[in-house]
Structure 1
Amino acid sequence: MTNTEPHSPTGGELYVPKGAAANARYTVDIDPKLAGWTHSSLRIVELEAGGTHTFTTGESEWIVLPLHGGCTVQTGTDEFQLLGRESVFASVTDFAYVPRDARVQIASGAGGRFALAGAKCERRLPARYGPAPEVPTEVRGSGTCTRHVRNFASADAFDCDKLIAVEVITPGGNWSSYPPHKHDEHRPGEEAELEEIYYFEIDGPNGFGYQRVFPSREGGSDVLAEVRSGDAVLVPDGWHGPSIAQPGHAMYYLNVMAGPGGTREWRICFHPDHTEGYR
């Protein structure tokens, strides 16, 4: 299948295949400039055994989230030992929050792959450790729309200034991010404006899935992408969903969200044509 040529605020593509946003430091480096928006960022860093990575947080807050392996995260006088995990399909993981205007070093004795989920923010909160046993998990949906959500940095689970981030595991053959929903308008008490990144990994060799984004207004975002491990999809606006996992291959995605609202909240609007029986 050929991915569509989608709309984005800068005329770039919303489907970001593996390698398209890579550089010498990161295998994925999606910042507001690349995305054509203001707040949300995602980086993936891979470290060899004994490797280190240093970065400055700038105007953004960040969560260091192990995808594979463990690491030590040091910023200022704070140091956190992350046990990590064997893979994103194996379990939840511990993580570290690091504030804006800081210098951070990640070191991994055995090596690994680590996500840096970021959001431009205003407040400088303290660095903190997030233990794996304290990550709230839930089963969302039912039947072939069942998926498993890890709310490690949801708006009501872990304190950040702007950043919202969760992980979702969709069993092979199932749909998630369904019904289609959106969060591209500020409507107090009903909907919050949030930019969103989907980062995908698929369990097993040759696995794939599909991601749909379609317009909520004239000229809005429109993409149908076949996604594989290491791919990402940007959602600046529009209805998004379903995310479809190939039978026999579970799908993982990391959602990174942030927006301009004064209150950090995940408020969404479901598509009125696709809601019956599927929330």
Structure 2
Amino acid sequence: MSTTNTAVNDSLTGTTGARPGAMGFLTDTTLCIGCKACEVACKQWNQLPMDGFGWTGFSYDNTGDLGATTWRHVAFIERITTSSPALPQQGEVGRRPTSLKPFQSNWLMQSDVCKHCVNAGCLQACPTGAIIRTEFDTVVIQQDICNGCGYCVPACPFGVPELSPIDGKAHKCTLCYDRVKDGLEPACAKSCPTDSIQFGLVEELMERAKNRVAALHERGVNEAYIYGDRAIGGTGGMEGLNAFFILTAPAEVYNLPACPTLPQDRAWPAFLATAGAAVAFGLAALFALKEP
């Protein structure tokens, strides 16, 4: 798939905040029931191979994480919570108990996906121009240009792109570019039975997410927040995500970095320090050779 003719150059549009017309995902984990309909729909539409029937041994999960053949991954996160042995306090009707029973187990479900970052590390690292930003502000890998160098893999702080053992090229979610350009909803959002995955304009989705978090807080789910909202510092140096999440636990619980940063940002100081040391060593050696 090639989308070069409709690509938007990062250097022309800037890299801060949602761009006009940017499309993305809102994934509300409080609505996810773990049915994996999004995984199946994604694989079916994009003709991705199956991942087998093996279990991770840690949860009811057979895919493990995102990869070259899994562009949507539903995580099953079981948490064992301990508290005082007292019985839970009921509180007001419709609100959560104010305390938990000892050794109470609960599940968190999360449908993970490429974040289509506003400041995408994979795009910056690609030396061939295979990774582009489309007119929908989504980040896509052009398979006819990718040479399989793998530079994009360590450049992503979320571990999304992966080299395929089948063709040796990097693969990840395209946010169903072929569907969106024809006015259709991405396969995963279309198949979600609870509207946990919502697709639309990023600015509208963010407003919807803020309203949802406010409603959850009113119902006593005070731990709910938006992961990917720059206003609360939830994305570090990523300048915002076009695919963001409503979470109810720390990011690390969902295997997400609490403050993701681009490896390039950390590499430059180290590179400059190394280069400076090399220059200093060279000058010292030069002066030493000139001494009689």
TM-score by length of structure 1 reads 0.23
Bigger fraction of residues in strand = 1
User: Higher relative contact order by CA 8 Å / sep ≥ 6: 1 or 2?
Assistant: 2
Rg (Cα) greater in structure: 2
